[in-house]
Every structure is written in structure tokens, then in C-alpha cells.
């Protein structure tokens, strides 16, 4: 009862608030009626506007349909007039031997909407249109025959202006591939004739000529420059009259002829330079221990230089071709799908990697690497055997001689512009320094600093270490601290300096190669993995430097 009483009291306390709210609701009644009326009026206006918009929209659609039909009618009338104009124009142009104008009329006829022509044939003037079409088709075939014959005649006569004239007409007749094929045939004949002429000059070159040692590299250079000029000269014509993306077809035909001429030059090179025989001699020399039967390294020097020059010219030419084709594809593929772009990239990779030029150079470089390795090892062995020391010098002669040889061999490989060739020679140089040259220094140090008594031995070792540090810091060799002037002691100290300088020379060589390789990569040589290959080789070289330094511990 108490709880109920409390709830009643609470309700009574809210009576005033409830009465105020009820009064407010009564006052809102008239306003709600006004709002209802306005809403109904607004709904009516919206319905009216919607119906009006629907009516207007339907009228617009009808107008749009009428406009499209009008355009179609105009287009049909224009096409019929064009058909008649083309028929009259092509006949007149053929009579006047104005083949460019005749081809333009045929091109216009081929561009007409075939569905419109078909509809026109079903009309009242169908018979006239059929007659016009027949005349145009006959004129088309006649013009194709004339253009082909005229082009062949100009090509046989070597008349370049006429060749280019009819080459420009082929695409107007829808004969893009045939035009490019015939024009490529003409250009290939020009390349072949010039290459044959250059090869004959090579065979007549006097061996005393200053370029005689690299005459085959020069011959390849002339071939590549000739093809490059052809591409530069005729690329604008191909792009203008045949459209972007067609340059690949032209270059593909030219590359076939390039491969034929490269094969001739390389075969002559192999024969005249006895390349295969010298390679076989090198292999035999590697397997034989007798020095009397080994081939003299200096005999290989000129031929190794020429091979690297031949490969460098080939790499430069292939990079030029790649750059031109990529630029042409990019323009033609601007709106193409990703699949088409990937397919074109495959075409390019196949052309560059599988051409006879690439395969021939890979074969020559494969032989070169073996011969260069032999040249380096034998020359280094001679430098070690002829080692000498002059008083006042910090190191013996073999240090400068060996690193001159190593830098020469790596530099020659670098000049080939082949990343694989360069990496191979860096690895061979690293192996030569680590396995052979370091072993020579190690064996000398292993004999220790000579001493006649235990006290001399202690004094000698202390003196040797002090002199080594002094010579490295002051840049001169001072023997005042050594009590004995024995040649064996002097040789030991020189060997210590040799080891230290060798370690420094290797790091200097590594830094130089890093700079040279960066320049090569910036020029576009090498593939995607080129940087990784070079970094790996140079890392091994740095490790060898540390192994030399370890001999001082």
C-alpha cells in the first residue's frame, strides 16, 4: 500500500508537465492542417513535373532517333556519291598514270561502310551501284598489278625514288605486309651489295695497314652502320604511310640479311685469323705441362682485342635496334591490351636473342674467355718468374706487372660490352690472384725471416715488423733498423710489402670496376640480372683482398 501511494504521488507531481504538453499539442493542430495541405499541393506539383519531364524526354528520344536516321541517310547519300566519285576518279587517274590519286580513290572505296553499300544495292539504283562496284573492283585489281610490276621494275633498276614512290602506294591498297616485304627485299639487296664490297676490300687489305689488326671488326661496324642508317632514313616513311608498330616487320627482314652477312664476315675472320686452331692450341697447352709445346701468349693479344671489339660493335647495334622497335611498339600499343604488349615483347626478345648475330658472338666470346684466361695465367706466371727488386723500391717488379696484366685482361673483357664475358674474366682474375699469385707470396713468407741465432731471430722479426709499418706510413723503404743486410732478409721484407700492396691494389681495382660497370649498365647493356652478377663478382674480389691481408697476421 505504501509503494502504491508513492507511485500515485509521483504521477500527481507530473500532472502539470503533462497538461502543458497537451496544451502545446492542441495549439499545433491548425499548423498540421496547413502542412498537410502544402504537402498535398507539393505532391501534385511533383507529379505534374514528372509527367511533363516524361513527355519531354520521349520527345527528345524521338528527335534523337530522327537525327540518327537523318545522319545515316546523309552518310548513305555521301557514300553513294563517294562510290560514284571513286569510280570516275580511279578511271581518270589510271588513264593519266597518276597512280597515287588512283590509289587514294581505291583507299576511299575500301573505307566505305560495307553495310551501307549493301543497303544501297537493294534500292532502286541497285543495278547502277553493282556496275560501279564491279568497275571499282576491277580497277583495284588492275592497280595492284600495276603497282607491283612498277615496284619490281624500279627495284631491278635500283631506282630509289621510284621504289619509295610505289612503296607508299601499297598501304592505300591494303597491302601493308606485301609492301613492307618487297621494300625490305630491296633494302636487303643494298645491304648485301655493300657488305660484299666491304668484304672484298678486307681481303685486299695490306697487313701493314694500321687498321689491319681490327679489319674484321671494322667490316662488321660498316655493316651495322649501314643498316642503322637505313632504319633512321626510312622509319619516318614507314610510320607515316604504314602506321606505328610496322617498323618491327621491316627490321625483322633486315636482320635476316644482317645475319647472312655477319656469317660471311665471321667465317672469314675464323679462317684468316686461325681462330679455331688457336683455340685448340690453347686447350692443348692447358692440358700439357711442357712449356716447349705451349702457345706464346703474345700471339693471342691482337686476336683477343679484335674479338672484344667485334662483340662491342654487335652489342651497340642490337641495343640500337631494340631501342627503335620498343619506341615504335609503344606508339602502336598505346591503346592495346596487356596481352598484346607482352606478345610484342616476346617478338622483340626472340628477334634479338635468337638471331644468328647473337649466336655467333656468343660462340666467339665463349672461345675468347678460355683464351683470355690462358693469356692472363701464362703472362702472370712469366711476371712471377722474372720478378726482380731494385734497391730503394718498396715492392718487387711482379706486383706492378701482375696487376697490369689483370687490369688489361679485365679491361679488354669490359670493352666487349658483354656482362657475362666481363663477369667470367673477373672471376678468372680473382681465382688467379687467390690461388696462384697469393700462393707464391705465401710460400715466400712461410720461409720466415732468416736469423743465425735465436737473438737474431727475435731482433729480425721485430725489425721486420717495424720496417714494414714504417715503409707503409712514410712511403719509403728504410733498412737502417736491420742489422743484417742478407738478401734473404731483404726478400722477406719486400714480400711483406708485396702482400700489403696487393691487398690495396685489389680494392682499388674493385672500386674502378664498380664505376666502369655502372657506366656500362647506364648505357643500357646487360639484362635484368646484370647488376646482381657484377655485385657478386666484385664481392668475391673484396674477399680475396682480405685473404691477402690475412697473410700479414
| Reported confidence tier of residue 28, pLDDT bands at 50, 70, 90 | confident
Query: What pLDDT score was predicted for residue 450?
Result: 63
Q: What is the mean pLDDT of residues 386-409?
A: 90
Q: Which residue has the cell 654487335?
A: 314
**Residue 154: pLDDT above 80?**
yes
Question: Closest Cα to residue 137, out of 97, 170, 165, 105?
Answer: 105
Mind listing the pLDDT tens digit for each residue in 530-553? 899 999 999 999 999 999 988 887
- 493 closest CA partner among 383, 403, 389: 389
- List all residues 6 or more positions away from 375 whose beta carbon is below 8 Å from its beta carbon: 297, 300, 301, 304, 409
pLDDT tens readout for residues 295-314:
889 999 999 999 999 999 99
Which residues have a Cβ under 8 Å from the Cβ of 35 and sit 6 or more positions away? none
Predicted local distance difference test score (pLDDT) of residue 466: 52
Average pLDDT over residues 198-214: 83
pLDDT band at 351 (very low <50, low <70, confident <90, very high): very high
Q: Which of 18-27, 122-131, 300-309, 433-442 has the highest mean pLDDT?
A: 300-309
Is pLDDT of 120 > 90? no
Q: What is the pTM of this model?
A: 0.77
The distance from CA 291 to its chain's CA centroid, rounded to whole angstroms, is: 45
At 539, which helix (H) or strand (E)?
Answer: helix 530-550
Convert the pLDDT of each residue in 237-293 to its tens digit.
999 999 888 999 999 999 999 999 999 999 999 999 999 999 999 988 888 765 656
* C-alpha of 300 from chain center: 32
Asked if residue 147 lies in contact with residue 97, where contact means CB atoms within 8 angstroms, the answer is: no
Interval 424-428 mean pLDDT: 95
pLDDT for 479: 40
Amino acid at each position: 500500500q505504501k509503494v502504491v501511494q508513492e507511485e500515485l504521488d509521483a504521477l500527481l507531481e507530473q500532472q502539470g508537465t503533462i497538461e502543458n504538453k497537451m496544451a502545446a499539442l492542441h495549439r499545433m493542430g491548425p499548423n498540421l492542417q496547413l502542412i498537410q495541405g502544402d504537402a498535398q499541393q507539393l505532391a501534385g506539383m511533383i507529379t505534374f513535373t514528372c509527367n511533363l519531364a516524361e513527355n519531354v524526354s520521349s520527345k527528345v528520344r524521338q528527335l534523337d532517333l530522327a537525327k540518327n536516321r537523318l545522319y545515316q541517310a546523309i552518310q548513305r547519300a555521301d557514300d553513294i556519291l563517294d562510290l560514284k566519285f571513286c569510280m570516275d576518279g580511279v578511271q581518270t587517274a589510271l588513264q593519266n598514270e597518276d597512280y597515287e590519286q588512283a590509289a587514294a580513290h581505291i583507299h576511299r572505296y575500301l573505307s566505305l561502310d560495307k553495310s551501307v553499300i549493301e543497303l544501297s544495292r537493294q534500292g532502286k539504283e541497285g543495278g547502277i551501284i553493282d556496275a560501279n562496284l564491279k568497275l571499282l573492283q576491277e580497277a583495284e585489281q588492275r592497280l595492284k598489278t600495276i603497282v607491283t610490276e612498277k615496284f619490281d621494275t624500279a627495284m631491278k633498276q635500283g631506282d630509289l625514288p621510284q621504289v619509295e614512290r610505289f612503296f607508299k602506294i601499297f598501304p592505300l591498297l591494303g597491302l601493308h605486309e606485301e609492301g613492307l616485304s618487297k621494300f625490305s627485299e630491296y633494302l636487303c639487296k643494298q645491304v648485301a651489295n655493300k657488305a660484299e664490297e666491304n668484304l672484298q676490300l678486307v681481303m685486299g687489305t695490306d697487313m701493314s695497314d694500321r687498321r689491319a689488326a681490327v679489319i674484321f671488326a671494322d667490316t662488321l661496324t660498316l655493316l651495322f652502320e649501314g643498316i642503322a642508317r637505313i632504319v633512321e632514313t626510312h622509319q619516318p616513311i614507314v610510320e607515316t604511310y604504314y602506321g606505328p608498330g610496322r617498323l618491327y616487320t621491316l627490321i625483322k627482314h633486315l636482320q635476316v640479311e644482317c645475319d647472312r652477312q655477319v656469317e660471311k664476315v665471321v667465317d672469314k675472320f675464323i679462317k684468316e685469323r686461325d681462330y679455331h686452331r688457336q683455340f685448340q692450341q690453347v686447350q692443348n697447352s692447358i692440358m700439357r705441362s711442357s712449356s716447349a709445346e705451349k702457345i706464346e701468349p703474345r700471339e693471342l693479344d691482337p686476336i683477343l682485342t679484335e674479338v672484344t671489339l667485334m662483340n662491342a660493335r654487335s652489342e651497340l647495334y642490337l641495343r640500337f635496334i631494340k631501342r627503335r622497335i620498343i619506341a615504335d611498339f609503344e606508339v602502336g600499343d598505346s591503346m592495346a591490351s596487356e596481352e598484346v604488349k607482352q606478345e610484342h615483347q616476346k617478338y622483340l626478345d626472340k628477334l634479338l636473342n635468337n638471331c644468328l648475330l647473337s649466336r655467333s658472338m656468343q660462340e666467339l666470346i665463349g672461345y675468347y674467355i678460355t683464351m683470355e684466361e690462358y693469356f692472363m695465367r701464362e703472362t702472370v706466371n712469366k711476371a712471377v718468374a722474372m720478378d726482380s727488386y731494385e734497391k730503394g723500391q718498396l715492392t718487387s717488379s711482379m706486383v706492378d706487372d701482375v696487376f697490369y696484366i689483370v687490369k688489361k685482361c679485365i679491361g679488354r673483357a669490359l670493352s666487349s660490352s658483354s656482362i657475362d664475358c666481363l663477369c667470367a674474366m673477373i672471376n678468372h682474375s680473382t681465382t688467379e690472384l687467390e690461388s696462384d699469385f697469393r700462393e707464391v707470396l705465401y710460400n715466400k713468407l712461410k720461409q720466415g725471416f732468416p736469423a743465425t741465432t735465436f737473438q737474431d731471430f727475435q731482433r729480425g722479426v721485430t725489425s721486420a715488423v717495424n720496417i714494414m709499418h714504417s715503409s707503409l706510413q712514410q712511403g719509403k723503404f728504410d733498412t737502417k733498423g736491420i742489422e743484417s743486410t742478407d738478401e734473404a732478409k731483404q726478400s722477406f721484407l719486400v714480400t711483406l710489402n708485396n702482400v700489403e700492396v696487393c691487398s690495396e691494389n685489389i680494392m682499388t681495382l674493385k672500386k674502378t670496376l664498380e664505376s666502369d660497370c655502372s657506366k656500362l649498365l647506364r648505357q643500357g647493356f646487360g639484362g635484368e640480372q646484370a647488376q646482381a652478377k657484377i655485385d657478386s663478382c666484385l664481392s668475391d674480389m673484396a674477399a680475396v683482398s682480405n685473404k691477402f691481408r690475412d697473410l700479414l697476421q
